[in-house]
C-alpha cells in the first residue's frame, strides 16, 4: 500500500508526524515491537506498514484507548458501523452539535463505555486531548469548529491499519513495568511516556504519572537484560528546555528531531522550532548505522561529547 501512514484519530502527543524520522533508528526487520505507552500506536502502525517486525505489543494504562485500537485492528467493520451511527446522529440536533457531544459524553461517563463513543469524543474534543476529572470521568470540551473524523475517512484508515496489524498484535492495559518485564533480547521497545511536567503527579492523559527516578531504574533494567529500545522523552522550543535529560550512565545516544514550528509560538506572533529528543539504546547504536549519520533536519550528539551540529 502506498501513501501516508494511516491513523485512527487526531491525538495529542501522537508521534505520527515524527514516525518517518524515528523509524530509521530501528533495524529494518526484527522480532517484536513493544509500545508500553502506545497512545494511538502511531509508531507501531508506521512500523507495521513497512513490515519491520514480526509481531507487536500495544499497551496503554488508559484502557479506553486500547479498546479503540483493538477494535480497529480486529473488527474494523464493526467499529466503522458503530462510529458512523454516533457521528451521524450529531446532525439530528437542531440546537447544535455541541449538545450532542455532551449527551454522548454523559452516556459514556454513566457506563456506556463503547469504543465507538470514546472514539467520537476524541475526534470531536479540543486538540484531540483526553482529559479526566478526579473521579475518572471524561471532562474535555468539544471543538466547536469541526465535526470530527468522517466515517468514510475512518473506514479507509482502520481497514489499512487492520491489514497491517491483524493477527500479530497483542493488547494490554497494564502498568508499563509489567510490559517491560515481558521483553526479551530481540525486541525493540519504543517508550513515549507522559510529558515530564506531569511525571510526579496524576496525569490527566495517562491517568497515572511516571516518576523520573523510577523510569530511569526501568531503563537500567532493560540495559541489564540486553533489550534494545528508543525513548521519546524531553525536548526544546526556542530557548526553553522541557524536561530533564536522561543520565549519561545509561549510555544512550541523544538525537533532537525537528518537529516543526511550535503552534503555540505562532499564536504569540513568534516562529520557534520545536525539537523532540530521542534516546537510542547502546545496542541499537551498533545495529543501526543511521545513528552515526548526520541528518540536516536532526541535531545529533553523544551524551558524552559536545554538540556537533
Q: Which domains does the chain have, with CATH numbers?
A: 19-63+167-302 (3.40.50.150), 70-154 (1.10.1020.10)
Per-residue pLDDT, 149: 92
Residues 278, 20: contact at Cβ < 8 Å?
A: no
Q: Give pLDDT, residue 81.
A: 98
Which pLDDT belongs to residue 260? 67
pLDDT of residue 244: 82
3-class SS at 266? Answer: helix
Cell of 233: 522523552
pLDDT value at residue 263: 47
For the chain, 309 residues long, give each residue's pLDDT as a single digit of tens.
456 889 999 887 778 889 999 999 999 999 999 999 999 999 999 999 999 999 999 999 999 999 999 999 999 999 999 999 999 999 988 666 789 999 999 999 999 999 999 999 999 998 888 888 888 899 999 988 888 999 999 999 999 999 999 999 999 999 999 999 999 999 999 999 986 544 444 444 445 578 899 999 999 999 999 999 999 987 766 566 667 889 999 999 999 888 765 444 333 445 567 788 899 999 998 877 654 443 444 444 433 333 332
Q: Contact 143/124 with Cβ under 8 angstroms?
A: yes
CA distances from 283 to 76, 186, 223, 256, 293 (A): 37, 10, 9, 19, 16
Do residues 237 and 273 make contact, with C-beta atoms less than 8 angstroms apart?
Answer: yes
**pLDDT given at position 146:** 83
Strand positions, DSSP E, the chain: 30-35, 53-59, 169-172, 187-191, 228-237, 240-242, 253-261, 273-280, 298-302
Residue given cell 545509561 in the structure block: 250
Quick check: helix, strand or coil at residue 116?
A: helix
Q: Which of 245, 195, 198, 252 is CA-nearest to residue 222?
A: 252
Q: In this predicted structure, what is the pLDDT of residue 258?
A: 84
Amino acid at each position: 500500500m502506498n501513501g501516508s501512514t494511516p491513523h485512527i484519530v487526531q491525538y495529542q502527543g501522537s508521534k505520527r508526524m515524527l514516525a518517518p524520522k524515528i523509524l530509521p533508528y530501528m533495524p529494518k526487520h526484527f522480532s517484536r515491537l513493544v509500545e508500553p505507552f502506545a497512545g494511538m500506536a502511531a509508531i507501531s502502525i508506521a512500523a507495521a506498514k513497512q513490515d519491520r517486525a514480526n509481531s507487536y505489543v500495544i499497551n496503554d494504562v488508559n484502557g479506553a484507548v486500547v479498546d479503540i485500537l483493538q477494535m480497529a485492528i480486529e473488527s474494523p467493520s464493526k467499529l466503522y458501523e458503530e462510529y458512523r451511527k454516533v457521528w451521524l446522529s450529531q446532525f439530528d440536533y437542531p440546537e447544535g452539535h455541541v449538545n450532542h457531544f455532551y449527551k454522548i459524553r454523559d452516556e459514556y461517563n454513566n457506563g456506556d463505555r463503547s469504543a465507538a463513543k470514546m472514539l467520537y469524543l476524541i475526534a470531536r474534543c479540543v486538540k484531540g486531548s483526553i482529559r479526566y476529572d478526579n473521579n475518572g470521568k471524561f471532562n474535555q470540551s468539544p471543538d466547536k469548529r469541526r465535526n470530527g473524523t468522517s466515517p468514510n475517512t475512518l473506514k479507509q484508515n482502520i481497514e489499512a491499519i487492520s491489514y497491517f496489524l491483524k493477527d500479530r498484535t497483542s493488547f494490554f492495559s497494564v502498568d508499563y513495568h509489567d510490559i517491560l518485564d515481558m521483553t526479551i533480547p530481540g525486541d525493540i521497545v519504543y517508550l513515549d511516556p507522559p510529558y515530564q511536567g506531569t511525571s510526579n503527579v496524576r496525569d490527566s492523559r495517562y491517568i497515572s504519572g511516571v516518576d523520573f527516578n523510577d523510569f530511569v531504574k526501568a531503563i537500567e533494567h532493560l540495559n541489564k537484560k540486553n533489550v534494545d529500545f528508543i525513548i521519546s522523552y524531553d525536548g526544546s522550543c526556542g530557548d526553553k528546555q522541557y524536561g530533564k535529560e536522561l543520565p549519561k550512565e545509561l549510555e544512550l545516544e541523544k538525537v533532537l528531531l525537528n518537529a516543526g514550528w511550535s503552534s503555540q509560538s505562532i499564536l504569540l506572533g513568534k516562529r520557534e522550532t520545536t525539537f523532540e529528543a530521542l534516546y537510542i539504546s547502546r545496542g541499537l547504536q551498533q545495529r543501526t548505522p543511521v545513528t552515526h549519520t548526520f541528518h540536516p533536519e536532526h541535531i545529533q550528539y553523544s551524551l558524552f561529547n559536545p554538540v556537533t551540529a
